[in-house]
């Protein structure tokens, strides 16, 4: 609902600008403030949904740099605790049980499609598996079974720059929206691989 409110306010602002209402108009200033608050609320919601450490940290930074920070003091505390819990995962910047659930759901699909296959291939590559995205789905399923067993027992994971870059390249074939239309599990893994790959590449960039 808030997303719809924000879009409606933006449309009204644009209409006001077209009719050349003054920049210092009180209603326009209120609308801009409303958009900023709604944007922050959406960012907080998305950060908790995506469960990605880099995303949570950037959201905290965005809130603290806003003039409306005092409104979100409780949310900052919640996000900081959430970020710390993600750091404890030592490399897994997502809630591991949810990752495994999504992986198993896609692996067990009876009617595979290219979108699901693409998502699983990107995930496997990110974790260092020697996988060709053009392999048969049955072979992809076998790789996923092995990865699921590995993830259920190991407590941490490190990612390589080359694997993160290749995973990103594989995922470029489909958008998040296309995967969302296919299955929510594919969409969730798409976001996870995208977020983790981006963080891995940024970390290597900072170290170089």
CA-CA distance, 143 to 163, in Å (whole number)?
16
pLDDT in tens, 159-206: 889 999 999 999 999 988 888 888 888 888 888 888 888 878 887 776
pLDDT confidence bin for 1, thresholds 50/70/90: very low
Q: Is it the case that residue 16 has pLDDT exceeding 70?
A: no
Selection from 153, 202, 167, 176 nearest residue 53 by Cα: 202
CA-CA distance, 184 to 188, in Å (whole number)?
6
CA-CA distance, 81 to 121, in Å (whole number)?
32
Q: Is it the case that residue 11 has pLDDT exceeding 60?
A: yes
Q: Stretch 41-64: mean pLDDT, rounded? A: 85
CA-CA distance, 168 to 176, in Å (whole number)?
12
DSSP 69: G
Contact 167, 125 (CB under 8 A): yes
CA-CA distance, 16 to 3, in Å (whole number)?
20
Look over the chain and give the mean of its residue pLDDT values, rounded to a whole number: 79
What's the confidence (pLDDT) of residue 176?
84
Whole-model pTM over 0.75:
no
pLDDT in tens, 82-134: 888 777 655 554 556 567 778 878 877 766 688 888 999 999 999 899 888 88
CA-CA distance, 194 to 186, in Å (whole number)?
12
CA-CA distance, 93 to 95, in Å (whole number)?
7
Percent of the chain's residues with pLDDT above 70: 77
CA-CA distance, 165 to 144, in Å (whole number)?
20
pLDDT in tens, 20-49: 555 556 777 777 788 888 888 888 988 887
Better-predicted residue by pLDDT, 171 or 53: 171
146: tokens are 């092995």
Q: CA angle at residue 98 from 55 to 108, to 5 degrees?
A: 130
Selection from 60, 39, 36, 38 nearest residue 48 by Cα: 60
What's the confidence (pLDDT) of residue 59?
92
């Amino acid at each position: 609902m808030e997303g719809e409110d924000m879009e409606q306010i933006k449309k009204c602002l644009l209409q006001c600008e077209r009719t050349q209402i003054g920049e210092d108009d009180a209603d326009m200033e209120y609308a801009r403030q409303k958009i900023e608050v709604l944007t922050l609320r959406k960012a907080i919601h998305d950060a908790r949904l995506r469960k990605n450490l880099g995303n949570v940290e950037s959201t905290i930074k965005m809130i603290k740099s806003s003039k409306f920070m005092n409104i979100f003091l409780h949310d900052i505390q919640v996000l900081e605790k959430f970020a710390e819990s993600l750091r404890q995962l030592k490399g897994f910047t997502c809630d591991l049980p949810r990752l495994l659930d999504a992986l198993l759901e896609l692996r067990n699909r009876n009617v595979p499609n290219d979108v699901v296959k693409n998502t699983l291939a990107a995930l496997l590559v990110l974790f260092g598996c020697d996988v060709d995205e053009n392999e048969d789905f049955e072979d992809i399923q076998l790789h996923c079974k092995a990865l699921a067993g590995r993830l259920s027992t190991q407590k941490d994971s490190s990612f390589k720059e080359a694997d993160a870059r290749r995973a990103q390249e594989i995922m470029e074939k489909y958008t998040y929206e296309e995967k969302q239309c296919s299955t929510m599990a594919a969409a969730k893994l798409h976001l996870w691989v995208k977020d983790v790959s981006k963080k891995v590449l940024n970390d290597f960039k900072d170290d170089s």
